[in-house]
Each structure stands twice: as C-alpha cells, then as structure tokens.
Structure 1
Amino acid sequence: MSTHVITGAGSGIGAAVTRELLARGDELWLVARDAGRARQLAEEYPGAHTLVGDLAEPARLSWAFSHQSLPERVDSLLHVAGVVDLGTVAELTPKVWDQTLAANLVAPAELTRLLLPQLRLARGHVVFVNSGAGLRANPQWAAYAASKHGLKALADALRAEEGEHGLRVTSVYPGRTATPMQAKVHQQEGREYDASRWVTPESVARTVLTALDLPVGTEITDLSVRPSPR
C-alpha cells in the first residue's frame, strides 16, 4: 500500500485522482484549506486522512503542519490544486499576480520542501499537474501562464537536485479539461461552455497513474494530454 498526499482533491482532476487511488486501497492524505473543508473531504472519501493548510498562504504552511501529525513516509506528492484569473497585462493588478503565484507556484514549492524528508525516505514521486499554459502563453493568460512556466522550472530543478535521493519528478500538461475551473475560464472568456469538447478529469487521472505506476528506475519527466478529434 502506497501513501499519497494530494492537493485539489475536492473537484476536477484532483477528485478523479483521489477516487482512483482510494479504490486501490492506498493511504491518502488530502490537503484542505481549513477545518470545515477537511471535514467535507473526510466525509466524501471515507478512510482518507486530511491535512489543513491554506495554499493561498504558503508562508503559513510550516506553522500549520507543525500542529498536525504528518505521514511518516510519502510515496507520492500530487500537486493538482490551482487558481486562474484571466486578464491582460494592462489589467492585471499586483493582487491577482500575488494570489496566482502563491497558489500555483509558491505553495507547491513550500509543500514539497516540507515533505521532502518523507519523500526521500520512500524514494518517492512528485507529480505536478501543470497546464498547456506551462508551455506557452496566450493573450489574457499572463499571470496563470507565468505561474505554470515557473512550476515547470520548479519541477526540472527538483528533479536535478533530488535524483541522488531516488526521487522521481513528473510534470503533466493537460489541455482544456472538463472541470469547474474550465467552466469559470469560459465565463471569463465570455464563451459558452461545452464539457463534451474537452478532456475528462478521469483521462488526466489515468495519465497521472501511468506515471506513478512505472517500475522503479523509470521516469516520465513531461507528459502532455490533449483532447482528440471526435
């Protein structure tokens, strides 16, 4: 039985990954922003543990975790949570930039740092669910794309630094995926949302599990997932 720490388990890709791993009988630790959300996740995923830590405030994660029991070893740390607010560079305020970078980049870096001892012990795996925006930047996507480009840099540096400890690091770049976040994006873009056009969360979850299930000594570093013609 493997032990996994997951962010973003409440919806979309994170929920799909959590369901898959729970069905296997693995041990799950789900990161929740507050105690109320932790109770909701515990009810939704019986048997899962919760960790309370607000990814919007990464500087407080160390303090929050110091008051909780952590897993003794972590076979995989799955960074799935994220936020998005569209706008042109002329429109984006420092508040939006700070919020986006905090949740999408600084929090994954800090969470990884805090759990590195457990990951090293297990010779574990860190998976960053990035985005197609982590490989290119389009109009109105500057803040989100910058955070995701940074997340790729974080993954690449972590892989180079922690290889001697047996750590595997994978970045997954989903295209548009049928999630509540995608519905929000369409609303910001002023477009009609049709979930059937996009990748399913379950498809991305299977991709994540493909990376996790490779034999020891083998590593997928970067993997893109796109909607196919129908």
Structure 2
Amino acid sequence: MANSDATSNDPVTVQPTALVTGASRGLGAAIARELAPTHRLLLGARTSQALEPILSELPGATGFPVELTDYEAVARAVEPVERLDVLVHNAGVADLGTIADSSVAQWRNTLEANLIAVAELTRLLLPALRAANGHVVLINSGAGLRANAGWGVYAASKFGLRAFADALRSEETGLRVTSIHPGRIDTDMQREIVAGEGRDYRPRDFLAASTVARAVRNAVETPRDAHPTEIVLRPIPR
C-alpha cells in the first residue's frame, strides 16, 4: 500500500507572479483574465474602488492600488515585491488633438503617464525582475510606429515608450522585453476617442481586447530560447 505521506516531500510548485497596470477594465482586465490561470496576479489601478469588479471576478488576485505618477507612493507599493516574473505596462492616457491646439500641460500629462511613470515603475522593480529573469511587456500602439495627424502628442509618448523598451532590452540582458503594437481596440477609451472624432462607433471595426490579451499571454509563454521583441496587431476590416 502506498504511503499516504508519499507526496509530502514533493517540491511545491509556485506560480509565477505578474503585475498588470491599468487592470480595472478594458484591455488590462482582459490581460488579467488571460494570465489568471497560470499566474499569481497583482492588479493595478488608481484606487481600490476601481479594482473591486475585477478582484471579485478573479478572487485569487491581489490589488495594487496606486497612482503611478505619485512616485513616492509607487516606491512604497513595490517594497514588498521581491520577485516578479511578468510586468505588463498597460496603464496610459490618450489625449488627442493637433499640435497647433496642444498645450504644455497636455504634453506633460501624456508623457508623464505613458512614458515617465512606466520608466520609474520598471526601474523600481528591476531587482525583483532580475531575481526572476523576468519579462516586461509594454502595451504600445500603432501610433508608436507611425504618427498621424491629430495624434502627435500621444504618438510622441508611444515612440518614446518604444525607445525605452529597446534600451531596456539592451541593458538588461537577463530580461525579456516585448513591445506590443495593437491597432485600435474595442474599449471604453476607444468609444471616447471615436466620439471625439464625431463618428459612429462600430465594435467590429476594432480589435477585441481578448485578442490583444491573448497576444500578451503568447509572448509570456514563448519558450525561453526565443525573445519576442515586438508584436504588431491590426484589425481585419469586417
């Protein structure tokens, strides 16, 4: 008869840990759902209240409520994180308009949210990422590859984000760094953008958030002999 304690000395499998910013809704929530079966999740948003729906849906996840541009608060929030396998930078803003109509405040706010906050959170988490030979995934945009009229401020922040990813990849050779450049995604943010453009909103014109989330998961699950550096996704017109 087998010893009932035979498995007591088996090694315990610990799930890898992933931090997803901007996880309360839209693409961030979709990414959380994709990673939930295989990862211990830290889900970021500005407030605890914003995280309540996704934490109710994914009760095994832990909230990471912090304003990412409050750098002292961010430093305190990351202190307990000693090892981090995956960092998904999804939080950001899309403040659109022409360069002629732009303001210093618009440039500062956009660059702060989409680039500087990303750089600082990554810097603070480098020891934890190095400990895990981790993976940094940056949700960029088609605007990070090509700037169109009316998207100059946003595109500048996303071009900068791509440069940050390239530099991080070169400097931190033990990490994998993936830039994901999706086209327009069917989210609440997209509805706001289309409303500002004065057009009717048709969800079929855009990528599903779940599709982009699957691309994130595929990048994370790519075997370690490969480094997925950039992934570009475009919606198929329907």
User: Do the aligned residues in 1 keep the contact of 2:29 with 2:54 (CA within 8 Å)?
Assistant: no
TM-score, normalised to structure 1, is 0.92
Q: Which residue of 2 aligns with 1:77?
A: 87
SS in 2 for 1:87: coil
Q: Which residue of 2 aligns with 1:192?
A: 200
TM-score, normalised to structure 2, is 0.89
| 1:51 Cα deviation from its structure 2 partner | 1.8
User: Do the aligned residues in 2 keep the contact of 1:31 with 1:50 (CA within 8 Å)?
Assistant: yes
In structure 2, which of residues 160, 171, 178 is the aligned counterpart of residue 170 of structure 1? 178
The structure number with the bigger radius of gyration is 2
Q: CA RMSD for the aligned pairs?
A: 1.6
Structure 1: distance between partners of 2:122 and 2:72: 11
User: Do the aligned residues in 1 keep the contact of 2:66 with 2:77 (CA within 8 Å)?
Assistant: no
C-alpha offsets along residues 84-134 of structure 1, whole Å, 9 cap, x if unaligned? 111111111111111111111111111101111000000000000100000
Structure 2: distance between partners of 1:139 and 1:206: 30
Q: Which residue of 1 aligns with 2:159?
A: 149
Structure 2: distance between partners of 1:206 and 1:34: 26
In structure 2, relative to structure 1, the CA distance for the partners of 1:68 and 1:149 (3 Å cut) is closer
| 1:44 Cα deviation from its structure 2 partner | 3.9
Q: Which residue of 2 aligns with 1:11?
A: 25
User: Do the aligned residues in 2 keep the contact of 1:53 with 1:61 (CA within 8 Å)?
Assistant: no
Count how many residue pairs are aligned between Structure 1 and Structure 2.
224
Structure 1: gaps (5+ residues): none
SS in 2 for 1:36: helix
Q: Which residue of 2 aligns with 1:31?
A: 44
Task: Determine which structure has the larger helix proportion and give its number.
Answer: 1
In structure 2, relative to structure 1, the CA distance for the partners of 1:69 and 1:49 (3 Å cut) is farther
C-alpha offsets along residues 166-217 of structure 1, whole Å, 9 cap, x if unaligned? 1000000000111111111101111111111111001101111111001113
Percent identity over the alignment? 48
User: Do the aligned residues in 2 keep the contact of 1:51 with 1:65 (CA within 8 Å)?
Assistant: no
Structure 2: gaps (5+ residues): 1-14
Q: Which residue of 1 aligns with 2:234?
A: 226
User: Do the aligned residues in 1 keep the contact of 2:23 with 2:51 (CA within 8 Å)?
Assistant: no
In structure 2, relative to structure 1, the CA distance for the partners of 1:30 and 1:97 (3 Å cut) is same
Q: Which residue of 2 aligns with 1:49?
A: 62
Q: Does 1:133 align with 2:143?
A: yes
User: Do the aligned residues in 2 keep the contact of 1:72 with 1:118 (CA within 8 Å)?
Assistant: yes
Deviates more, 1:42-51 or 1:74-83: 42-51
In structure 2, which of residues 190, 193, 197 is the aligned counterpart of residue 182 of structure 1? 190
User: Do the aligned residues in 2 keep the contact of 1:79 with 1:128 (CA within 8 Å)?
Assistant: yes
| 1:33 Cα deviation from its structure 2 partner | 0.9
One-letter code aligned to 1:49: T
Moved over 6 A (4+): none
In structure 2, relative to structure 1, the CA distance for the partners of 1:198 and 1:40 (3 Å cut) is closer
| 1:70 Cα deviation from its structure 2 partner | 2.7
